[in-house]
Amino acid sequence: METKTTNELLQNIQAGKDEALKALYRQYQPQFLIWAAKRFDLSEADMKDVFQDAVIILFKNVQSGKLEVLTSSLKTYLYGIAKKLLLKKATKQRNTTPLEDYELPPVEMQLLYDFEKNHQQHLLKAAFEKLKENCRQILTLFYYKRYSTEAIMHEMQYSSKGTVRSRKLQCLKALREAFIN
Amino acid sequence: MNNELTEEQIERVGDYIMGLLSKEERMAFEQQLIVNPVLQAEVNLQKEVILLVEEAEDMRLKEMLKEVDLEAEDKAEDSTGGRKWWLVAILVLILLGIAWLVWKGQEESPERLYAAYFEPYQNVLVPTVRDAGVPLDVLEAFQAYEDGNYETALLAFNQLPVEVQKPDYELYEALSLMQTNRVGEAIRLLQVLKNNSDSQFREHAQWYLALAYLKQGNTPKARQFLEGLVENKSAIFEKKARELLSKL
């Protein structure tokens, strides 16, 4: 029973379902908070924050196929990420240089938020936020969820693949103008 | 070279960065990329778009998980909601209790009543002007008493020679003792004074005994003396005694 639901959970994560992310979070957060409270001098808010990031990283890694997780190792892998993030946060709060051992592997580093954006990226971001919802959706489906043009057509109920293509080009155009200026 | 890219080129950039091109297509594309800066710029743009959608998606997921936490907190709060009301009710009762005690304390604290009612009795015995009839020692003692120098007054009272001593002086000595916090000694003197049939200050002694016991926190004793004053219809102290009794 347990294996079956965990398997189902894993499948849903692979499919990128929001509910799977929530389920993952609900299932493993309480135990993690207890574990972390004993070992780290961080506030509960900080620990929750870290665990949210960890769950999102795992979710994305599994979904993108960058990581193949077996049902049995789901929890291990999740806690592994969370632990590394915790160490990173705790080290940062103590204001010391992070230890070499605790450096995150490249894949995870790439997925961590990057708040250091240059001016051009700020403009681009502002332009992205101003895009119409269906523009953001079409770009998210193509560049993030890696949907094919056909899959996007079905998902967003466009009449043809041509419509999807021209819509995508229009959306990119709005961004390009911000990017160049 | 044309500065504008064709729609097909733009689409190809997308396929290229998403790894959707075959090996041959990719190599051909990369050949164009080397010589076409506009194409290169488009690659950079679309790579940025990947980061943007990723960041937006991260934020959306993060908000979603925060929402999960909030829902959990709400649930926890609901389940303790009933208990919370009880806690509030108990807290209010405790606060009321404390307020009542403080109020009671203010009303009835013997110390406070003592402070409110005690005042050193005026010198009605010895005119503190130099007068042939009054020995200098006595004059000094009463002068100090009137000035509020009770330590000095006590010293002077103690050193009075036996021949100039009068029982009524003891009231002023006792009051000086009370003013310098020697209540026990004051009580002994006042007791003597109260039982001295020659004294004109027997009622005074009773009144100040009541106050002295109040100062010691001995309310029953204080009440006893006050009731005595009321029963005997003391001309000077009956009214005050009734008033004070009502507050005990």
Burial grade of B1 (CB within 10 A; 0-12, 13-18, 19 or more): exposed
Q: Which residues of A touch B76 (CB under 8 A)?
A: none
Q: Which residues of A touch B15 (CB under 8 A)?
A: none
Angle at CA B5, nearest 5°, toward B2 and B10?
160
Nearest residue in chain B measured CA to CA from A138: B53
Q: Tell me: the pLDDT tens digits for B143-179?
A: 888 888 888 888 888 777 776 777 788 888 888 888 8
What's the pLDDT score for residue B2?
52
Overall pTM > 0.80: no
Interchain CB contact of A180 with B (< 8 Å)? yes
Query: Which residues of chain B have a pLDDT value below 50?
Result: 1
Q: Is the pLDDT score of A38 beyond 60?
A: yes
Across the interface, do B18 and A144 touch by the CB < 8 Å criterion?
A: no
Cβ contacts of A84 within 8 Å, gap of 6 or more: A102, A104, A108
Least confident window among A1-10, A22-31, A107-116, B49-58: A107-116
What's the pLDDT score for residue B188?
83
A159 vs A89 pLDDT, higher one: A159
Local confidence band at A11 (pLDDT 50, 70, 90 cut-offs): confident
> Which string of DSSP letters, residue by residue, matches A19-77?
HHHHHHHHHHHHHHHHHHHHH----HHHHHHHHHHHHHHHHHHHHTTS----GGGHHHH
Q: How far B248 CA sits from the closest chain A CA (Å)? A: 55
Query: Which position has the token pair 């693949």?
Result: A161
Q: How far A92 CA sits from the closest chain B CA (Å)? A: 21
Interchain CB contact of B54 with A (< 8 Å)? yes
Q: How far B74 CA sits from the closest chain A CA (Å)? A: 15
Q: Is the pLDDT score of A102 beyond 90?
A: no
Q: Which of B7, B11, B52 sits opposite A125 (nearest CB)?
A: B52
Distance CA B54, CA B161 (A): 106
Q: Kindly state the percentage of chain B with pLDDT values over 90.
A: 23
Q: Which of A52, A139, A143 sits opposite B66 (nearest CB)?
A: A52
Interchain CB contact of A26 with B (< 8 Å)? yes
What's the pLDDT score for residue A115?
44
Across the interface, do B56 and A25 touch by the CB < 8 Å criterion?
A: no
Distance CA B51, CA B7 (A): 22
The ipTM assigned to this model is 0.76
Across the interface, do A56 and B7 touch by the CB < 8 Å criterion?
A: no
What's the pLDDT score for residue A98?
46
Interchain CB contact of B55 with A (< 8 Å)? yes
Distance CA A2, CA B103 (A): 64
Interface test with B, best of A133, A143, A147 (most B CBs within 10 A): A143
Q: How far A96 CA sits from the closest chain B CA (Å)? A: 27
Spatial contact of A113 and A59, defined as CB atoms under 8 Å apart: no
Q: Which residues of A touch B64 (CB under 8 A)?
A: 18, 21-22
What's the pLDDT score for residue B202?
86
Query: Which position has the token pair 């940062």?
Result: A92
Question: Which two three-digit tokens encode residue A171?
Answer: 């959306």
Return residues 84-103 of A near B (CB < 8 Å): none
Q: Which of B41, B46, B68 sits opposite A25 (nearest CB)?
A: B68
Q: How far A114 CA sits from the closest chain B CA (Å)? A: 9
Interchain CB contact of B61 with A (< 8 Å)? yes
Interchain CB contact of B62 with A (< 8 Å)? yes
Q: Is the pLDDT score of A119 beyond 80?
A: no
Interface test with A, best of B9, B39, B49 (most A CBs within 10 A): B49
Q: Tell me: the pLDDT tens digits for A50-90?
A: 999 999 998 888 887 777 766 667 888 888 889 899 888 88
Local confidence band at A106 (pLDDT 50, 70, 90 cut-offs): low
Widest distance between CA atoms in chain A = 57
Cα B206–chain centre separation: 37
What's the pLDDT score for residue A121?
76
Q: Tell me: the pLDDT tens digits for B72-87?
A: 888 877 766 667 778 8
> Which string of DSSP letters, residue by residue, matches B103-154?
HHHHHH-HHHHHHHH--PPP--S---S--TTS-HHHHHHHHHHHHT-HHHHH
Spatial contact of A59 and A108, defined as CB atoms under 8 Å apart: no
Please report how many Cα atoms fall inside a 13 Å half-sphere around the Cα of residue A3, on the Cβ side: 2
What's the pLDDT score for residue A127?
87
Burial grade of B36 (CB within 10 A; 0-12, 13-18, 19 or more): middle
Minimal CA–CA distance to B172: which of B195, B198, B199, B197? B199
Interchain CB contact of A27 with B (< 8 Å)? no
A100-105 average pLDDT score: 52
Query: Which position has the token pair 């960065």?
Result: B17
Across the interface, do B58 and A56 touch by the CB < 8 Å criterion?
A: yes
DSSP conformation class of A115:
-
Q: Which residues of B touch A146 (CB under 8 A)?
A: 18
What's the pLDDT score for residue A116?
43
Minimal CA–CA distance to A6: which of A27, A29, A34? A27
Across the interface, do A53 and B62 touch by the CB < 8 Å criterion?
A: yes
